[in-house]
Structure 1
Amino acid sequence: MSPIQAALAFVLITVGEMAGVMVTMKTAGRYGRRLPQTGALIALLATAAYGLQISSSEADLSLPAMAAPLLLLGLAFGTIGGPLADLSLSRVPHENAGSASGLFNTSIHLGMALGTALTALVFFSITGGSPSAAVNREAFTHVLWWIGGAFAAMWALMFLLPTRTSSKTD
Protein backbone atom coordinates (compact mmCIF):
# COMPACT_ATOMS: atom_id res chain seq x y z
CA MET A 1 0.00 0.00 0.00
CA SER A 2 1.08 3.53 -0.60
CA PRO A 3 1.23 5.90 2.38
CA ILE A 4 -2.02 7.54 1.20
CA GLN A 5 -3.80 4.17 0.94
CA ALA A 6 -2.58 3.19 4.41
CA ALA A 7 -3.80 6.50 5.81
CA LEU A 8 -7.19 5.99 4.16
CA ALA A 9 -7.39 2.51 5.71
CA PHE A 10 -6.92 4.09 9.15
CA VAL A 11 -9.57 6.68 8.26
CA LEU A 12 -12.00 3.83 7.51
CA ILE A 13 -11.35 2.28 10.92
CA THR A 14 -11.82 5.69 12.54
CA VAL A 15 -15.11 6.32 10.71
CA GLY A 16 -16.36 2.92 11.86
CA GLU A 17 -15.23 3.65 15.42
CA MET A 18 -17.06 6.98 15.40
CA ALA A 19 -20.22 5.14 14.29
CA GLY A 20 -19.76 2.64 17.13
CA VAL A 21 -19.35 5.42 19.67
CA MET A 22 -22.49 7.13 18.35
CA VAL A 23 -24.42 3.86 18.80
CA THR A 24 -23.03 3.63 22.34
CA MET A 25 -24.01 7.22 23.13
CA LYS A 26 -27.55 6.76 21.78
CA THR A 27 -28.14 3.60 23.80
CA ALA A 28 -26.83 5.31 26.98
CA GLY A 29 -26.02 2.10 28.84
CA ARG A 30 -29.38 0.42 28.20
CA TYR A 31 -27.72 -2.79 27.08
CA GLY A 32 -25.05 -3.06 29.76
CA ARG A 33 -22.32 -5.53 28.92
CA ARG A 34 -24.27 -6.89 25.94
CA LEU A 35 -23.19 -3.95 23.77
CA PRO A 36 -19.42 -4.42 24.20
CA GLN A 37 -19.89 -8.19 23.95
CA THR A 38 -21.67 -7.67 20.64
CA GLY A 39 -18.78 -5.43 19.60
CA ALA A 40 -16.30 -8.20 20.46
CA LEU A 41 -18.29 -10.68 18.35
CA ILE A 42 -18.44 -8.20 15.46
CA ALA A 43 -14.67 -7.73 15.75
CA LEU A 44 -14.16 -11.51 15.79
CA LEU A 45 -16.33 -11.98 12.70
CA ALA A 46 -14.74 -9.04 10.86
CA THR A 47 -11.26 -10.36 11.67
CA ALA A 48 -12.19 -13.86 10.47
CA ALA A 49 -13.73 -12.48 7.27
CA TYR A 50 -10.65 -10.33 6.69
CA GLY A 51 -8.36 -13.33 7.27
CA LEU A 52 -10.35 -15.48 4.84
CA GLN A 53 -10.38 -12.68 2.30
CA ILE A 54 -6.63 -12.22 2.49
CA SER A 55 -5.75 -15.91 2.52
CA SER A 56 -7.99 -16.73 -0.45
CA SER A 57 -6.83 -13.85 -2.63
CA GLU A 58 -3.76 -14.25 -4.81
CA ALA A 59 -3.76 -10.64 -6.00
CA ASP A 60 -3.00 -7.70 -3.76
CA LEU A 61 -6.06 -6.43 -1.95
CA SER A 62 -7.34 -3.02 -2.86
CA LEU A 63 -8.61 -0.46 -0.40
CA PRO A 64 -12.23 -0.89 -1.58
CA ALA A 65 -11.98 -4.65 -0.96
CA MET A 66 -10.73 -3.97 2.58
CA ALA A 67 -13.33 -1.29 3.34
CA ALA A 68 -16.06 -3.52 4.85
CA PRO A 69 -13.81 -5.39 7.32
CA LEU A 70 -12.09 -2.16 8.35
CA LEU A 71 -15.38 -0.32 8.91
CA LEU A 72 -16.74 -3.28 10.90
CA LEU A 73 -13.60 -3.43 13.03
CA GLY A 74 -13.93 0.27 13.76
CA LEU A 75 -17.62 -0.14 14.63
CA ALA A 76 -16.69 -2.95 17.00
CA PHE A 77 -13.94 -0.89 18.65
CA GLY A 78 -16.42 1.95 19.25
CA THR A 79 -19.00 -0.32 20.84
CA ILE A 80 -16.36 -1.97 23.03
CA GLY A 81 -14.41 1.07 24.16
CA GLY A 82 -17.33 3.36 24.89
CA PRO A 83 -19.12 1.42 27.64
CA LEU A 84 -16.12 -0.54 28.91
CA ALA A 85 -14.89 2.11 31.34
CA ASP A 86 -18.38 2.70 32.76
CA LEU A 87 -18.98 -1.01 33.24
CA SER A 88 -15.54 -1.69 34.68
CA LEU A 89 -15.63 1.20 37.14
CA SER A 90 -19.35 1.24 37.98
CA ARG A 91 -18.98 -0.37 41.40
CA VAL A 92 -15.90 1.52 42.53
CA PRO A 93 -16.59 3.71 45.58
CA HIS A 94 -16.49 7.43 44.86
CA GLU A 95 -13.44 8.00 47.09
CA ASN A 96 -11.43 5.48 45.00
CA ALA A 97 -12.62 6.68 41.59
CA GLY A 98 -9.43 8.56 40.72
CA SER A 99 -7.13 5.65 41.52
CA ALA A 100 -9.41 3.15 39.78
CA SER A 101 -9.61 5.35 36.69
CA GLY A 102 -5.82 5.66 36.59
CA LEU A 103 -5.45 1.89 36.95
CA PHE A 104 -8.04 1.32 34.21
CA ASN A 105 -6.28 3.70 31.80
CA THR A 106 -2.88 2.23 32.58
CA SER A 107 -4.25 -1.26 31.93
CA ILE A 108 -5.66 -0.14 28.58
CA HIS A 109 -2.29 1.31 27.53
CA LEU A 110 -0.44 -1.77 28.76
CA GLY A 111 -2.83 -3.99 26.79
CA MET A 112 -2.28 -1.95 23.62
CA ALA A 113 1.50 -2.10 24.03
CA LEU A 114 1.51 -5.83 24.74
CA GLY A 115 -0.92 -6.51 21.90
CA THR A 116 1.25 -4.59 19.45
CA ALA A 117 4.42 -6.30 20.65
CA LEU A 118 2.91 -9.80 20.58
CA THR A 119 1.36 -9.42 17.13
CA ALA A 120 4.68 -8.09 15.81
CA LEU A 121 6.45 -11.04 17.44
CA VAL A 122 4.12 -13.53 15.74
CA PHE A 123 4.34 -11.71 12.41
CA PHE A 124 8.12 -11.44 12.31
CA SER A 125 8.67 -14.94 13.65
CA ILE A 126 6.82 -16.20 10.57
CA THR A 127 8.36 -13.85 8.01
CA GLY A 128 11.89 -13.95 9.34
CA GLY A 129 12.25 -10.50 7.79
CA SER A 130 11.49 -11.82 4.29
CA PRO A 131 10.27 -9.24 1.78
CA SER A 132 8.26 -11.93 -0.03
CA ALA A 133 4.63 -10.90 -0.51
CA ALA A 134 3.45 -14.50 -0.10
CA VAL A 135 5.30 -14.92 3.20
CA ASN A 136 4.00 -11.59 4.48
CA ARG A 137 0.44 -12.52 3.47
CA GLU A 138 0.74 -15.81 5.34
CA ALA A 139 2.14 -14.06 8.42
CA PHE A 140 -0.57 -11.38 8.37
CA THR A 141 -3.29 -14.00 8.05
CA HIS A 142 -1.75 -15.94 10.93
CA VAL A 143 -1.69 -12.81 13.08
CA LEU A 144 -5.36 -12.15 12.29
CA TRP A 145 -6.29 -15.60 13.65
CA TRP A 146 -4.44 -14.80 16.89
CA ILE A 147 -6.25 -11.46 17.10
CA GLY A 148 -9.57 -13.23 16.47
CA GLY A 149 -8.77 -15.54 19.37
CA ALA A 150 -8.10 -12.51 21.56
CA PHE A 151 -11.50 -11.08 20.62
CA ALA A 152 -13.14 -14.41 21.54
CA ALA A 153 -11.36 -14.37 24.90
CA MET A 154 -12.38 -10.74 25.40
CA TRP A 155 -16.01 -11.63 24.71
CA ALA A 156 -15.89 -14.43 27.28
CA LEU A 157 -14.17 -12.27 29.90
CA MET A 158 -16.88 -9.64 29.53
CA PHE A 159 -19.24 -12.01 31.36
CA LEU A 160 -17.32 -10.94 34.47
CA LEU A 161 -18.48 -7.35 33.99
CA PRO A 162 -21.60 -6.13 35.76
CA THR A 163 -24.79 -6.67 33.78
CA ARG A 164 -25.47 -2.92 33.92
CA THR A 165 -23.77 0.15 35.25
CA SER A 166 -25.06 1.00 38.71
CA SER A 167 -26.39 4.48 39.17
CA LYS A 168 -25.15 6.61 42.03
CA THR A 169 -28.68 6.74 43.44
CA ASP A 170 -28.88 2.94 43.87
Structure 2
Amino acid sequence: MMKNHKIIISGPPGSGKTSIINALKNKGYLVQNELHPGKINKESDKLELSNYLFSKRIKQYHDKTIIKSNKHNIKLTYEHPLIFFDRSIIDVIAYLNMWKIKFPIKMNTAIKKYNYNKNIFYTPCWKKIYKTTPHRPENYENSIKIDIFLRNAYIEFNYNIIEVPKLDVNKRVDFIINNL
Protein backbone atom coordinates (compact mmCIF):
# COMPACT_ATOMS: atom_id res chain seq x y z
CA MET A 1 0.00 0.00 0.00
CA MET A 2 1.12 3.56 -0.66
CA LYS A 3 3.01 5.33 2.12
CA ASN A 4 1.08 8.60 1.70
CA HIS A 5 -2.63 7.90 1.95
CA LYS A 6 -4.09 11.14 0.59
CA ILE A 7 -5.26 9.84 -2.78
CA ILE A 8 -6.48 12.12 -5.57
CA ILE A 9 -9.05 10.98 -8.10
CA SER A 10 -9.14 13.49 -10.94
CA GLY A 11 -10.28 13.80 -14.52
CA PRO A 12 -12.43 15.96 -16.75
CA PRO A 13 -16.16 16.51 -16.20
CA GLY A 14 -18.36 13.51 -16.92
CA SER A 15 -15.61 10.89 -16.70
CA GLY A 16 -17.04 8.99 -13.73
CA LYS A 17 -15.09 10.49 -10.81
CA THR A 18 -18.08 11.14 -8.60
CA SER A 19 -19.50 7.65 -9.21
CA ILE A 20 -16.16 6.19 -8.10
CA ILE A 21 -16.02 8.46 -5.04
CA ASN A 22 -19.59 7.46 -4.09
CA ALA A 23 -18.76 3.76 -4.53
CA LEU A 24 -15.66 4.15 -2.33
CA LYS A 25 -17.78 5.90 0.29
CA ASN A 26 -20.35 3.08 0.14
CA LYS A 27 -17.52 0.61 0.80
CA GLY A 28 -16.63 2.51 3.96
CA TYR A 29 -13.69 4.58 2.73
CA LEU A 30 -13.33 8.19 3.78
CA VAL A 31 -13.80 10.59 0.88
CA GLN A 32 -13.53 14.33 0.41
CA ASN A 33 -16.19 15.30 -2.11
CA GLU A 34 -15.66 17.80 -4.88
CA LEU A 35 -17.11 21.22 -4.27
CA HIS A 36 -20.45 21.03 -6.07
CA PRO A 37 -21.21 23.71 -8.68
CA GLY A 38 -24.39 24.54 -6.74
CA LYS A 39 -22.15 25.74 -3.94
CA ILE A 40 -20.12 27.77 -6.42
CA ASN A 41 -23.20 29.82 -7.21
CA LYS A 42 -23.74 30.62 -3.51
CA GLU A 43 -20.10 31.57 -3.03
CA SER A 44 -20.16 33.93 -5.99
CA ASP A 45 -23.15 36.04 -4.99
CA LYS A 46 -25.58 33.63 -6.66
CA LEU A 47 -24.38 34.44 -10.17
CA GLU A 48 -25.46 31.99 -12.81
CA LEU A 49 -22.84 29.31 -13.33
CA SER A 50 -22.05 30.45 -16.86
CA ASN A 51 -21.48 34.03 -15.72
CA TYR A 52 -19.44 32.81 -12.77
CA LEU A 53 -17.10 30.73 -14.87
CA PHE A 54 -16.04 33.70 -16.93
CA SER A 55 -16.04 36.35 -14.22
CA LYS A 56 -12.95 37.82 -12.60
CA ARG A 57 -14.34 36.68 -9.25
CA ILE A 58 -13.18 33.14 -9.95
CA LYS A 59 -9.76 33.89 -8.49
CA GLN A 60 -11.32 35.24 -5.28
CA TYR A 61 -13.54 32.18 -5.05
CA HIS A 62 -10.61 29.80 -5.45
CA ASP A 63 -8.62 31.73 -2.84
CA LYS A 64 -11.50 31.11 -0.39
CA THR A 65 -11.67 27.47 -1.45
CA ILE A 66 -7.95 26.98 -0.76
CA ILE A 67 -8.26 28.38 2.75
CA LYS A 68 -11.32 26.23 3.57
CA SER A 69 -9.86 23.11 1.98
CA ASN A 70 -6.50 23.55 3.67
CA LYS A 71 -8.04 23.69 7.16
CA HIS A 72 -10.25 20.68 6.44
CA ASN A 73 -7.45 18.70 4.79
CA ILE A 74 -5.07 19.11 7.73
CA LYS A 75 -7.78 17.91 10.12
CA LEU A 76 -8.60 14.89 7.93
CA THR A 77 -4.94 13.89 7.65
CA TYR A 78 -4.50 13.53 11.38
CA GLU A 79 -7.79 11.74 11.98
CA HIS A 80 -7.84 9.18 9.15
CA PRO A 81 -5.15 7.01 7.57
CA LEU A 82 -6.65 6.79 4.03
CA ILE A 83 -8.57 9.56 2.29
CA PHE A 84 -9.79 9.77 -1.32
CA PHE A 85 -10.13 13.27 -2.75
CA ASP A 86 -12.54 14.07 -5.60
CA ARG A 87 -10.16 16.50 -7.34
CA SER A 88 -7.48 18.67 -5.72
CA ILE A 89 -6.02 22.15 -5.78
CA ILE A 90 -4.11 21.14 -8.89
CA ASP A 91 -7.47 20.86 -10.67
CA VAL A 92 -8.14 24.46 -9.65
CA ILE A 93 -4.81 25.48 -11.19
CA ALA A 94 -5.67 23.59 -14.40
CA TYR A 95 -8.97 25.45 -14.72
CA LEU A 96 -7.31 28.80 -14.00
CA ASN A 97 -4.71 28.01 -16.68
CA MET A 98 -7.45 27.13 -19.14
CA TRP A 99 -9.23 30.42 -18.42
CA LYS A 100 -5.88 32.26 -18.67
CA ILE A 101 -6.09 33.49 -15.08
CA LYS A 102 -2.79 33.63 -13.21
CA PHE A 103 -2.94 31.52 -10.08
CA PRO A 104 -1.78 32.99 -6.75
CA ILE A 105 1.65 31.95 -5.45
CA LYS A 106 0.00 30.70 -2.24
CA MET A 107 -1.44 27.84 -4.29
CA ASN A 108 2.09 26.45 -4.65
CA THR A 109 2.44 26.60 -0.87
CA ALA A 110 -0.91 24.88 -0.41
CA ILE A 111 0.09 22.07 -2.79
CA LYS A 112 3.27 21.43 -0.80
CA LYS A 113 1.34 21.60 2.48
CA TYR A 114 -1.31 19.13 1.28
CA ASN A 115 1.35 16.57 0.45
CA TYR A 116 -0.94 14.36 -1.63
CA ASN A 117 0.33 10.99 -2.80
CA LYS A 118 2.32 11.53 -6.00
CA ASN A 119 0.34 8.80 -7.81
CA ILE A 120 -3.09 10.08 -8.80
CA PHE A 121 -5.92 8.06 -10.28
CA TYR A 122 -7.17 9.73 -13.43
CA THR A 123 -10.51 9.08 -15.12
CA PRO A 124 -10.12 9.92 -18.83
CA CYS A 125 -12.75 11.41 -21.13
CA TRP A 126 -15.37 8.78 -21.88
CA LYS A 127 -18.01 9.75 -24.40
CA LYS A 128 -20.18 6.69 -23.66
CA ILE A 129 -20.97 7.88 -20.11
CA TYR A 130 -20.75 11.65 -20.65
CA LYS A 131 -23.89 13.69 -19.93
CA THR A 132 -24.48 17.42 -19.57
CA THR A 133 -26.48 18.42 -16.51
CA PRO A 134 -27.45 21.71 -14.84
CA HIS A 135 -24.33 21.23 -12.69
CA ARG A 136 -22.14 20.17 -15.63
CA PRO A 137 -22.86 22.62 -18.45
CA GLU A 138 -19.71 21.78 -20.44
CA ASN A 139 -20.20 19.88 -23.68
CA TYR A 140 -18.06 16.83 -24.43
CA GLU A 141 -15.65 18.80 -26.64
CA ASN A 142 -14.99 21.19 -23.74
CA SER A 143 -14.41 18.18 -21.49
CA ILE A 144 -11.65 17.07 -23.87
CA LYS A 145 -10.06 20.52 -23.59
CA ILE A 146 -10.26 20.39 -19.79
CA ASP A 147 -8.66 16.93 -19.90
CA ILE A 148 -5.56 18.38 -21.57
CA PHE A 149 -5.20 21.16 -19.01
CA LEU A 150 -5.69 18.75 -16.10
CA ARG A 151 -3.07 16.31 -17.36
CA ASN A 152 -0.60 19.13 -18.00
CA ALA A 153 -1.10 20.60 -14.52
CA TYR A 154 -0.52 17.27 -12.77
CA ILE A 155 2.59 16.63 -14.87
CA GLU A 156 3.85 20.16 -14.15
CA PHE A 157 3.61 19.45 -10.40
CA ASN A 158 5.41 16.10 -10.79
CA TYR A 159 2.46 13.78 -10.23
CA ASN A 160 2.28 10.32 -11.80
CA ILE A 161 -1.00 9.81 -13.63
CA ILE A 162 -2.47 6.32 -13.27
CA GLU A 163 -5.26 6.11 -15.83
CA VAL A 164 -8.35 4.32 -14.54
CA PRO A 165 -9.68 1.92 -17.19
CA LYS A 166 -13.09 2.50 -18.77
CA LEU A 167 -14.95 -0.25 -16.94
CA ASP A 168 -18.06 -0.41 -14.78
CA VAL A 169 -17.77 1.57 -11.56
CA ASN A 170 -17.13 -1.44 -9.29
CA LYS A 171 -14.26 -2.63 -11.48
CA ARG A 172 -12.85 0.90 -11.51
CA VAL A 173 -12.97 0.97 -7.71
CA ASP A 174 -11.27 -2.44 -7.55
CA PHE A 175 -8.58 -1.16 -9.92
CA ILE A 176 -7.89 1.80 -7.63
CA ILE A 177 -7.82 -0.29 -4.43
CA ASN A 178 -5.58 -2.90 -6.05
CA ASN A 179 -3.15 -0.21 -7.19
CA LEU A 180 -2.70 1.61 -3.88
TM-score over 0.5 for the alignment? no
Which structure shows the higher helix fraction?
A: 1
TM-score, L = length of structure 1:
0.30
After TM superposition, the score normalised by the length of structure 2 is 0.29
Of structures 1 and 2, the larger Rg is shown by 1
- Which protein is richer in strand relative to its size? 2
